[in-house]
């Protein structure tokens, strides 16, 4: 997690509520604190000059009045100076009014927009006008309110998806329990099995949501250590061997010789690899195969889980690592690949997918290798 002030030193860091990796209005932009000081200095200089000219105008008025009543001896030069001061003061007042009117509208719009956002209206946008500093501030506010609006829409969508995923197992549990309570079904193992299965589905969903929440908030704890890739792959494939035999699918591996260890949390990465192998087994054709390949890639270790199934639909492939995205034949919650992405990225790695109906699907993880200084 990030530490320090929410906006970092100089206002250039990502706020804690802005998603990691997403470009914000501060990315590559000027330092906002310095921007504010510059704007304040400009306004201060202008107000100071205006005040000086206004004082000069007041002096000119007083001098002319005193001259008119004979209170002072008014030489032509003194009168000219007084008139000049009066004219400059009038010009200063006129310019000040124009500048303040030019500043008042955009500043007022910014204040109104901030109040609307504070009140929960995340659709609020402010016009981009006025001096360059105010235009920059308006663009930043619009970008932030737009991002907040998108995040709120996303949050509501996620809540709707969670409710949908909870509804099916809860309906099964309630239906079976009511039937047993009413004496329609006997309370035997056969009729209790759907309740147990639905309860396990709920438990998996809750665990997956907990992992996603920790990963997206930056609070996912990793107990990193050197992990032998060959041992990791062999243990994972061994755990799925009985399931593969029943499905009639061959499990194979193809690892480069002398692969370096990866710097990873063994439990988290084992869960990631197991998730991918489980998905691949579900997609592979009977009599087909699932293969795990491993190799080096620019200081990283690339692990690819490949199956010879029918592939991921083209419209789903760009969103395959998003939450609750799943194909029509999937029986899972749609959170597995989202968790894979978040856990791998928490390790400083990346994940990608390729898929066609002819060759099947390949999911590739790239995880930092252990470096020896």
Question: Per-residue confidence of the chain (373 residues) as pLDDT tens digits?
Answer: 333 444 444 444 555 445 455 555 545 444 545 555 666 666 666 666 666 666 666 665 565 555 555 555 555 545 555 556 656 666 666 666 666 666 667 777 777 888 887 787 878 888 887 777 777 878 888 888 888 888 788 778 777 777 777 887 888 889 989 999 988 888 888 889 888 888 887 887 888 788 877 877 777 888 899 999 999 999 999 999 999 999 899 999 999 988 899 999 998 999 899 989 988 998 888 899 999 999 987 889 999 999 988 888 888 888 888 877 776 666 666 778 888 898 999 899 999 999 888 888 999 999 999 876 5
Q: Is residue 286 part of a domain?
A: yes
Q: Which of 128, 149, 170 is the last residue of a domain?
A: 149
Calculate the alpha carbon distances from 172 to 1, 168, 185 in Å: 40, 6, 14
Asked if residue 358 and residue 231 are part of one domain, the reply reads yes
pLDDT of res. 8: 44
Q: Which of 82, 115, 149 is the last residue of a domain?
A: 149
pLDDT of res. 273: 93
Q: Is residue 336 part of a domain?
A: yes
Q: Is residue 319 part of a domain?
A: yes
Q: Is residue 298 part of a domain?
A: yes
The CATH number for 272's domain is: 3.30.565.10
Distance between CA atoms of 325 and 349, rounded to whole angstroms?
22
The span from the first CA to the last CA of the chain, in angstroms, equals: 25
The count of C-alpha atoms lying within 13 angstroms of the C-alpha of 57, restricted to the half-sphere facing its C-beta, is: 15
Contact 202, 166 (CB under 8 A): yes
Q: Is residue 186 part of a domain?
A: no
Asked if residue 231 and residue 120 are part of one domain, the reply reads no
pLDDT of res. 307: 92
In 3D, which of 301, 313, 292, 271 has the Cα closest to residue 362?
292
DSSP state of 332: S
Q: Is residue 181 part of a domain?
A: no
pLDDT of res. 85: 60
Distance between CA atoms of 21 and 344, rounded to whole angstroms?
14
Predicted structure pTM score: 0.58
pLDDT of res. 135: 78
pLDDT of res. 5: 41
Q: Which of 149, 177, 203 is the last residue of a domain?
A: 149
Q: Is residue 154 part of a domain?
A: no
Asked if residue 364 and residue 229 are part of one domain, the reply reads yes
Give the pair of three-digit tokens for residue 165. Answer: 């995923």
pLDDT of res. 57: 61
Strands 300-307 and 360-368: antiparallel
Asked if residue 236 and residue 116 are part of one domain, the reply reads no
Asked if residue 140 and residue 32 are part of one domain, the reply reads yes
Contact 368, 263 (CB under 8 A): yes
Range of the domain at 74: 9-149
pLDDT of res. 17: 46
In 3D, which of 236, 43, 66, 65 has the Cα closest to residue 134?
43
Contact 363, 351 (CB under 8 A): yes
Q: Is residue 155 part of a domain?
A: no
Asked if residue 245 and residue 119 are part of one domain, the reply reads no
Residue holding tokens 């438990």? Answer: 203
Total domains, the chain: 2
Calculate the alpha carbon distances from 2 to 26, 147, 295 in Å: 17, 20, 32
Q: Dump strand ranges (E) for the chain.
A: 225-227, 250-255, 262-264, 289-297, 300-307, 350-356, 360-368
Report the 3 state secondary structure along 189-205: HHHHHHHHHHHHHHHHH
């Amino acid at each position: 997690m990030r530490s320090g002030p929410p906006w970092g030193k100089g206002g250039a860091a990502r706020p804690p509520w802005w998603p990691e990796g997403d470009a914000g209005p501060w990315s590559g932009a000027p330092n906002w604190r310095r921007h504010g000081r510059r704007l304040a200095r400009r306004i201060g200089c202008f107000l100071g000059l205006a005040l000086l000219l206004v004082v000069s105008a007041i002096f000119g008025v007083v001098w002319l009045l005193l001259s008119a009543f004979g209170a002072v001896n008014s030489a032509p030069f003194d009168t000219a100076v007084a008139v000049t001061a009066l004219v400059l003061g009038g010009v200063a007042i006129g310019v000040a009014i124009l500048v303040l009117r030019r500043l008042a509208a955009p500043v007022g719009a910014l204040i109104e927009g901030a109040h609307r956002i504070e009140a929960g209206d995340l659709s609020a946008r402010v016009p981009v006008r006025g001096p360059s500093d105010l235009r920059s501030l308006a663009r930043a506010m619009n970008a932030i309110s737009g991002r907040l609006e998108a995040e709120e829409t996303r949050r509501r969508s996620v809540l709707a998806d969670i409710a949908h995923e909870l509804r099916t197992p809860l309906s099964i549990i309630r239906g079976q329990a009511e039937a047993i309570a009413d004496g329609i079904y006997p309370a035997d193992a056969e009729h209790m099995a759907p309740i147990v299965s639905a309860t396990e589905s709920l438990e998996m969903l809750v665990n997956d949501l907990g992992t996603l929440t920790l990963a997206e908030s930056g609070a996912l704890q990793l107990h990193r250590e050197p992990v032998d890739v060959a041992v990791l792959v062999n243990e994972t494939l061994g755990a799925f061997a009985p399931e593969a035999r029943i499905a009639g699918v061959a499990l194979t591996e193809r690892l480069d010789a002398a692969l370096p260890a990866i710097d990873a949390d063994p439990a988290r990465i084992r869960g990631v690899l197991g998730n991918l192998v489980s998905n691949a087994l579900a997609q592979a054709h009977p009599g087909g195969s699932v293969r795990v390949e491993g190799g080096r890639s620019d200081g990283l270790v690339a692990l690819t889980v490949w199956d010879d199934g029918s592939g991921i639909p083209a419209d789903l492939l760009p969103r395959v690592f998003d939450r609750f995205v799943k194909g029509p034949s999937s029986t899972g919650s749609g959170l597995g690949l989202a968790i894979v992405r978040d856990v791998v990225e928490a390790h400083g790695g990346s994940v990608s997918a390729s898929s066609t109906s002819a060759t099947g699907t390949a999911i590739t993880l790239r995880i930092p290798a252990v470096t020896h200084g």
